[in-house]
């Protein structure tokens, strides 16, 4: 992110935009509808937050400031609207998984040299968010068959619009069967990687588990490439080899 847009500048821009929209439409619709439209802006742009706390700050900053300002006359139930919108995008069930942070488009450009796949290989983006990982993977494996699974309905719908060439559905990545895929891509967080390692044991021999940034410490990587100077891409090929400090 450019220096100009370092936190909290994105938050100030999103909150300011929500306020401008609210003031622009409040003369034409009820306060409840004006707040709902403005809150939707904050929730939509909350996906740029790179931590869960920042995502919630972006989503709820405007309604909190509106409440503190006393500018709107709203029934008590209306204050549940921003929370409902935020929970729609960030279901409680998925809080322990990765924050919604996009895979850079060129982050996976070295994969093919290390993990070549046959034409029509089956690739899964487990937790595809808005579809950025799928788009990055397609640059590397243009002939592959792509699937994405996402627990948030709004994000799943946006990913389907952005990636019409992929099969994308709503679901739990931990309940999906990974055994039929040639490559499973993850951009999770350190706390969920042990669960990903356990889940990956069902993958077929020769299949690849690929993780942006976060190492599967229980396994010995087959290869490590670089998305950028400070962002490794960890590759593990089944059957997986346990790390020396994690005997199995």
When divided into structural domains, the chain yields a total of 2
List pLDDT tens digits, range 109-165. 989 889 999 989 999 999 888 899 999 999 999 999 999 998 877 778 888 999 999
Is the domain of 73 the same as that of 133? no
List pLDDT tens digits, range 176-233. 999 999 999 999 878 889 999 999 999 999 999 999 989 999 999 999 998 776 789 9
Domain assignment present for 55: yes
Q: Is 124 helix (H, G, I), strand (E, B) or coil?
A: strand
Is the domain of 229 the same as that of 162? yes
Is the domain of 76 the same as that of 181? no
List b or e across 34-53, with b for residues whose CB sees 16 or more CB atoms inside 10 angstroms.
Answer: bbbbbbbbbbbbbbbbeebe
Give me the chain's average pLDDT, please. Answer: 82
Nearest to 135, CA basis, from 94, 157, 158, 166: 166
Instruction: Report residue 19: phi and psi, to 5°.
Output: -65, -45
**What is the edge-to-edge ordering of all strands in the sheet holding 122-126?**
167-170, 145-150, 122-126, 183-186, 208-212, 231-237, 223-228
Residue 62 is part of which domain span? 3-90
| Cα(213)–Cα(122) distance, integer angstroms | 22
| Cα(170)–Cα(201) distance, integer angstroms | 23
Is the domain of 159 the same as that of 221? yes
Domain assignment present for 71: yes
Is the domain of 165 the same as that of 204? yes
CA distances from 183 to 71, 116, 148, 224, 237 (A): 52, 10, 12, 15, 9
| Cα(153)–Cα(168) distance, integer angstroms | 11
Q: What CATH number should be reported for the domain holding residue 216?
A: 3.40.50.150
Is the domain of 144 the same as that of 77? no
Is the domain of 134 the same as that of 220? yes
Domain assignment present for 46: yes
Which helix (H) or strand (E) segment holds residue 167: the answer is: strand 167-170
Find tokens 């306020």 and name the residue. 19
How confident is the model at residue 7, as a pLDDT? Answer: 74
Extract long-range pairs of 4-8: CB within 8 Å, 24+ residues apart. 7/54
pTM of the predicted model as reported, rounded to 2 decimal places: 0.66
Domain assignment present for 146: yes
Is the domain of 115 the same as that of 232? yes
């Amino acid at each position: 992110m450019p220096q100009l847009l370092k936190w909290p500048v994105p938050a100030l821009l999103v909150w300011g935009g929500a306020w401008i929209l609210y003031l622009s439409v409040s003369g034409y619709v009820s306060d409840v509808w004006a707040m709902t439209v403005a809150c939707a802006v904050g929730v939509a742009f909350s996906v740029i937050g790179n931590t869960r706390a920042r995502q919630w700050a972006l989503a709820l900053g405007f309604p909190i400031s509106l409440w503190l300002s006393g500018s709107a006359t709203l029934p008590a139930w209306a204050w549940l609207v921003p929370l409902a919108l935020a929970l729609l995008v960030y279901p409680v069930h998925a809080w322990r998984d990765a924050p919604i942070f996009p895979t850079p488009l060129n982050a996976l450009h070295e994969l093919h040299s290390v993990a070549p796949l046959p034409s029509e290989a089956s690739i899964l983006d487990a937790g595809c968010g808005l579809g950025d990982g799928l788009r990055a993977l397609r640059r590397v494996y243009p002939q592959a068959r792509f699937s994405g699974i996402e627990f948030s309905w709004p994000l799943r719908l946006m990913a389907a619009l952005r990636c019409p060439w992929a099969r994308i559905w709503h679901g739990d990545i931990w309940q999906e069967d990974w055994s039929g895929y040639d490559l499973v891509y993850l951009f999770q967080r350190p706390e969920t990687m042990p669960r990903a390692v356990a889940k990956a044991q069902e993958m077929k021999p020769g299949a690849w588990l690929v993780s942006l940034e976060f190492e599967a410490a229980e396994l010995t990587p087959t290869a490590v490439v670089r998305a950028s100077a400070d962002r490794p891409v960890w590759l593990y090929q089944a059957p997986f080899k346990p790390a020396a400090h994690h005997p199995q």
